[in-house]
Chain A
Amino acid sequence: MKTVKVYGPGCKRCEATATMVKDAAAKLGVEIEIEKVTDPRSIAMAGVLSTPGVAIDGRLVHTGGMPDAAKLEGWLAA
């Protein structure tokens, strides 16, 4: 079970990123729990300067746009 946090104020790209994470996890058969972090303070405290950002099990793996699908699978599989 992996905990994935998607950081973003709720813009279109943040939603799309959350969907990408779900799809990738389903494809890999990895069980995940997604949390969307929308509070600007929490986003900033996590070290995300440009949204959307993605953290897996507390490790920030990506910021500043939608992640590359292949890379995302790599992070989830690791």
Chain B
Amino acid sequence: MSADIATPLRPPRPDWHWHLGVAAFLLVWWLVYGQLIPVSEWIASLFPVERHSHTGEAVAFFFYDVPKVMMLLTLIVFAMGVVRSFFSPEKTRALLSGKSEGVGNVLSASLGIVTPFCSCSAVPLFIGFVSAGVPLGVTFSFLIAAPMVNEVALVLLFGLVGWQVAATYLVFGLAIAILAGFVIGKLRLEGWLQDWVRDIHSGADAPVAVEDERLTMADRYKLGIEAVREIFGKVWMWIILGIGVGALIHGYVPEDLMARIMGADAWWSVPAAVLMGIPMYTNAAGVIPIIEALLGKGAALGTVLAFMMSVIALSLPEMIILKQVLTLRLIAVFVGVVASGILAVGFLFNQIF
């Protein structure tokens, strides 16, 4: 990765240039977004296939969904990048330290959405939280919510499946993070941390935080652009691949096949979905287009959501990272509690919808 070489000689652009630029971008975005259906139909008509054939359906689906998802992602990831620039793990920790359980879990899960977090710093963050007096359960609420309720998952659900499902995912993802953290807190498992983590917990003072770097609005916009660049670098291939697979399922898989395998009648489908999701490690971008296509073919919403939550929230690589600070027993409890929450959501939704 090459860093931009800043040219300190030229004075930075004033903030209002950036405001204008962002406004112009939003206008262009909105105009283009309105034209996506006609353009995708036009592209599909260029292919020498019957529009209403399986292949025609698949082609139209692909050329409508790829640009739509890319555009939605650009907008939301940029916005979240700007929002996140107002938060930092240090500020979040200060807000959470010494909070009681209950209120702390709710606050922690909510902050998990807006605090910049990368799973590669899960271990330093965990230690930093616990050693500063953030209760174990509250720390877990953060660690569950941060990856599970993320803007990429929400945008994809919104764009490909519908806002109702996106809202449902947001509410129940948060609920699982809050409740699972609360339960883990109530179990009093501090003794199940690796020994050296406990020592830091009892001994060290909370280290001094970095001095606040002052950011202008322009800096924040730049962070938003940086976030878009980073997310796209990571997920563009998954999106195209995922939507490609989705398009195939959309065009070719018979209507009732999925209803039989993943429908609401088969009670075992929810636990099976959760189990299948644990070893799978992909980001939301790869899994959601497939989910859309499955839903379209009659798979039950609860089963599909359970699968998705399991893929994102319970990942094997993350557990291996956490093994440095947690004992296996504690990891098992963590997985058990979160998996139960996901199961409950899955069954509940299959009952309701």
Contact = CB atoms under 8 A, between A and B. Distances in A.
Contact of A47 (B6, B123, B210, B213): B210
Interface residues of A, number: 32
Interface in A42-66: 43-51, 53, 60-66
A48 B90 CA distance: 9
Contacts of B116: 50, 64-65
B124 A50 contact: yes
B4 A50 contact: no
Contacts of B131: 44
A44 B123 contact: yes
A16 B124 contact: no
B30 to A, nearest CB: 30
Contacts of A70: 6, 8
A61 B212 CA distance: 9
**Secondary structure call for the B interface:** loop
B324 interface: yes
B204 A45 contact: yes
Contacts, number: 88
A47 B88 contact: no
Nearest to B208: A47
Contacts of B207: 45-47
B3 A16 contact: yes
A62 B4 CA distance: 18
A2 interface: no
Contacts of B127: 40-41, 44
Nearest to A55: B210
Given A44-B200, A46-B207, A47-B208, A71 B90 contact: no
**3 closest Cβ contacts across the A-B interface?**
A47-B207, A44-B127, A49-B89
